[in-house]
Structure 1
Amino acid sequence: MQIVTRLIAMNRARQLQRQFRQIERNISALPARTRARLGVMALREIGQASRCEFPHLYGTAPEQRYVPWGQGTEIGFNRAQSDNPEVALRGIALWLAVAYHETKDSPHTSLQPQHRQVLRVLRELRDISGEPADSTAQWMRSGAAA
């Protein structure tokens, strides 16, 4: 059973990595002001997801709550490809929030690099927004990002 679990985790890590590359390209194509706005949106989405019973299933229908991962990253990824800039921005924020919670504290070593990449992007977005590091650090330690 452990072999099957590892294979599923490796497959999921590969899928997240593929999606992350596209999300990162979308973020780098954004102007600085839009990236700053995206940073605020992503932190808000992370906070909203953390208030859910299962944060990694944020954006997933309630009847699918017993799946290993939800539809949030897929929905966010599809929205990020939209021609509508506002929909794309919200899709990126959703993808970052769900990927953050899905990979946070993961026991699978194959998912840990994805978590570090998501943290790096969130840190870059925070730095662009010009928000003081102390307030973001306090927010990350609070229950909002738990």
Structure 2
Amino acid sequence: MRLLTQLIAINRARQLGRQLREIQRSIDALSRQNRSRLGTLALREIGQATRCDFPHLYGTPPEERYLPWGQGTEIGYTRARSENVEVAIRGIALWLAVAYHETKDARQGGLQTVYRQLMRLLRELKETRREGDTSESWMNASAAA
């Protein structure tokens, strides 16, 4: 049973790692303003998922909650590939939130690697968001003067 669990974890880590690379490319293609919006939305999604009984199942239909992992990453990944920027940003935020909760307490090496990469990406989004706030407050201060 332990071997089967490890095989499932390795497969899941590989799948999340592949999706994370695609998500990273999608984020890199966004404008600075949209990356800032994504950072805000991703933090909001992570917070909403935290309030759920099972945060790693956030975005999963109730009838599918007994699967080994939820459908949130698949739904988010599909939306992230959309041509519509708004849909893509919401999909990326959903994917980030679900993947964060799915990997944060992982004990398997592959999932821990995905978690570290995900945290790096979230930190970059947070910094982009902070830079956007600074420039907006600077513009507001100069407009008031």
TM-score if structure 2 supplies the norm length?
A: 0.88
Task: Find the aligned partners of 1:109 and 1:18 in 2 and give their Cα distance.
Answer: 16
3-state SS in 2 of match to 1:111? helix
The residue that corresponds to 1:98 in the other structure is: 98
Structure 2 residue 73 is the aligned partner of structure 1 residue 84 = no
Task: Find the aligned partners of 2:113 and 2:84 in 1 and give their Cα distance.
Answer: 30
The residue that corresponds to 1:22 in the other structure is: 22
Structure 2 counterparts to residues 1-146 of structure 1, below 5 A: 1-130=1-130
Larger radius of gyration: 2
| CA apart distance, 1:130 | 1.2
Matched to 1:128, the amino acid is T
Task: Find the aligned partners of 1:67 and 1:104 in 2 and give their Cα distance.
Answer: 19
**Percent of residue pairs bearing the same amino acid type:** 66
Aligned residue pair count: 131
Instruction: Render the CA deviation track for 1:80-130: whole Å, top value 9, x for unaligned.
Output: 011111000000000000000000111222200000111001100000111
The residue that corresponds to 1:141 in the other structure is: none
TM-score if structure 1 supplies the norm length?
A: 0.88
CA root-mean-square deviation: 0.9
3-state SS in 1 of match to 2:68? coil
- Structure 1: any 5+ residue segments left out of the alignment? 132-146
| CA apart distance, 1:64 | 1.6
More helix by share: 2
- Runs of 4 or more, structure 1, over 4 Å off, are none
Task: Find the aligned partners of 2:116 and 2:110 in 1 and give their Cα distance.
Answer: 11
Matched to 1:113, the amino acid is T
| CA apart distance, 1:65 | 1.5
